[in-house]
Every structure is written in C-alpha cells, then in structure tokens.
Amino acid sequence: MGIAIITGASSGLGREFVRQIASKENDVSEIWVIARRKERLEELVSKINVPIVVFPFDLARKENIDDFIEYLKTRKPLINILVNAAGFGKIGSYNDISRLDSDNMIDLNCRAAVDMTIAVLPYMKKKSRILQICSTSAFQPFQYLNVYAATKAFLYRYSRALRIELLPKGIHVTAVCPYWIKDTEFISKAKHNGDGKEIKNFIFASKAKNVVSIALNDSRIGLPVSTPGPICFIHRIVAKFIPHEIMMFIWELIRKL
C-alpha cells in the first residue's frame, strides 16, 4: 500500500482523479491532494473513503514546492501514483493575454510539473505510475491558444522521454492528452474575453469522469500516451502526417464554427 499524490485536486480533472483513485486503486492507502483552495481540498476529507492529506500550496511558487520536498524528506513515503493535473490556460490573441498570465502558464504547466515529478521520483519503486495531464493541443501549434498549447507540447515531450529513462526502474509514465472537457472550470476560465470570440463552440467535448477512467486504465497497462476519447485519438494520428500549417488552417475553420 502506498500514497497517491494529485495536484490541481480542488476542481476539474484533479478532483475526479481523487474520486476514482480512491474507489479503483486497491494499492493506495492515502491520497495527498495539492491545490491553492484549501476549503475545496478539505471538502474531500468527508467525501472520500481513503484518508486525505491536504496541502494548500500554489505550485507556481517555488517555495511551496520546497516545503513539499521537505515534507517528503521527513515522511519518506512510498508513492504509487503521481497525477500532475495542476494547470490552466488562456484563450486569446497574443496581445490580449498579459505577460503575467503567460508566465504563470509556463510556470504551472511546465516548471511545476517537472519539479513535482523530480521531487517524488526518489520515493517511487517498480510499478509506480506517473500521469502527466497534457492535452490534445500538444500535438500541433494552436493560434489563440499559443502559450497554453506550447506548454502542453513541452509536458508531452518531457513525459515521452522520461518514460524511456524510467523503463529500467519499472516506473511507468503516461502522457494524458484529452480534448475539450465540458464539465470542468477550464473553458470558462480560459476564455479571456466575455464574448468568447476566439473560439465559438467546443463541439464534441468530453466529460471528466470518462477522461479519468480511460486515463487510469491506460496508465495501469503502461501506455505511453492516453488519448481518452475519439476526437483526441484521431487528432493524434492525423497530426503525425499532415503538416502543421495545414492543421492550423483547419483549426482556423473549426474555431469559427
């Protein structure tokens, strides 16, 4: 029995990972949840049938990760699962999104995920698993999602390479690349302008429950990439063969539908 660590656990995919890991992962005796909103995390204590340890940390702040590393040194846990679900995006053109928002996307989506991964790896063993929550936007450049898509491409490439490095240790890394998810806060928070002019519709969006269920199954069998839905699976395949300039032209048409 070991620990599951889930970042971004106060809402969205992170919160759904807490629920499903608690109910489906028999080798997890405790779940550590990390997010900024302490009250949201504390709600999980009474709702989940596995002991919950709350860390109200902002992972965009390096000192919070330093504090977590010190806690790991004191506790010396066996970590079975790490889910890096903390992240955010902004929809808008290059001059609509502030430099601060751009910097924070890079910090949280890239640096914090790498820092957390490096922090927990010494406490993992054979058959431990890491799920990096990337995005189907990792498969190509996306205008009006340019920084967000670039951060997810970074995390995707990092995850794919790290998986090979960890194969001798038997630690599995899965890059989870979902399409739009309609029942989380992501879309509403990502819209920079109230009229949502950059992207008109989010057609064929998935549900968090389905995305997490497929991602966990893919992780259990050691898949390097999880595309939890038909749209993201097709996108992944098509983006291997069609030049990015054409893919961006197709996106230009889709976003205006």
Residue holding tokens 């395949």?
A: 237
- Kindly report the number of other CB atoms within 10 A of residue 96's CB atom: 14
Domains of the chain: 2-254 (3.40.50.720)
Per-residue pLDDT of the chain (257 residues; tens, 9 = 90+): 799 999 999 989 999 999 999 999 988 999 999 999 999 999 998 899 899 999 999 999 999 999 999 999 999 999 999 999 999 999 988 988 999 999 999 999 999 999 999 999 999 999 999 999 999 999 999 999 999 999 999 999 999 999 999 999 999 999 999 999 987 777 777 775 544 567 777 777 889 999 999 999 999 999 999 999 999 999 999 999 999 999 999 999 988 87
